[in-house]
Copies of this chain bind each other. A is one copy, B any other.
């Protein structure tokens, strides 16, 4: 029941309508449920991992550390997202991954996924779509870091998060609850924590967004979108396109 309507199912439905076979195969991904405490480290860069996870509940982040101790967060994962999918075919994982909040996740083996390509090709395509979408988010993130100002980055990030959370039924028109600290935001946006604070104050004073006490509240989404140059097309999530 709750499996059939898992966050992943909900997300994939933005791409195709899944058949019963698809749903069955998908359900098989959800054996091996695990739960991890906030701050727990699931994947270590440089180690070999034959499995990935599907996040069912809570927030996680993937990141890379630099020799000088700096950290760059590559992406934030929410319910319905894959964790560590990229490097199951690699000798060693190219990134680390830790739980931001307490999380619930299902472990999936490389073979589970590869086998599904033969059994449920439609589902397989949907999984590839999800992976492509993850990559599109990384790409947009890269553009953020390369060519946008601190304020634009913040605005863009918050709007993306809003759209992603909406797709899996989290948050409402006014905003969403967000467990990220300003240190997280700094490591996501390639800024210092101090500057993150100033940027948030600025956006708040301009009546665009408020991020306080673990809640993000939007006051002028249109203006925020213009500021950020946010065009949600790269999320490719405008209703299911049957084919």
Contacts and interface: CB of A to CB of B under 8 A. Distances in A.
Nearest to A134: B135
A136 interface: yes
A89 B234 CA distance: 12
A162 interface: no
Contacts of A91: 233, 236, 238, 241
Nearest to A85: B132
Given A128-B89, A132-B89, A72 B121 contact: no
Contacts of A87: 132, 136
Contacts of A89: 15, 125, 128-129, 132
Contacts of A241: 91
B143 A64 contact: yes
A142 B138 contact: yes
| Interface size grouping (class) on chain A | 35 or more
A177 to B, nearest CB: 26
Nearest to A124: B117
Contacts of A135: 86, 134-135, 138
Contacts of A131: 131
A113 to B, nearest CB: 9
Contacts of A134: 135
Q: Identify the 10 closest CB pairs spanning chains A and B, nearest first.
A: A146-B190, A145-B145, A94-B234, A72-B146, A72-B143, A142-B142, A72-B147, A89-B129, A70-B147, A94-B136
Interface of A: 15, 46, 64, 66-68, 70-72, 74, 86-87, 89-92, 94-95, 114, 117-118, 121, 124-125, 128-129, 131-136, 138-143, 145-148, 189-190, 229, 233-234, 236, 238, 241
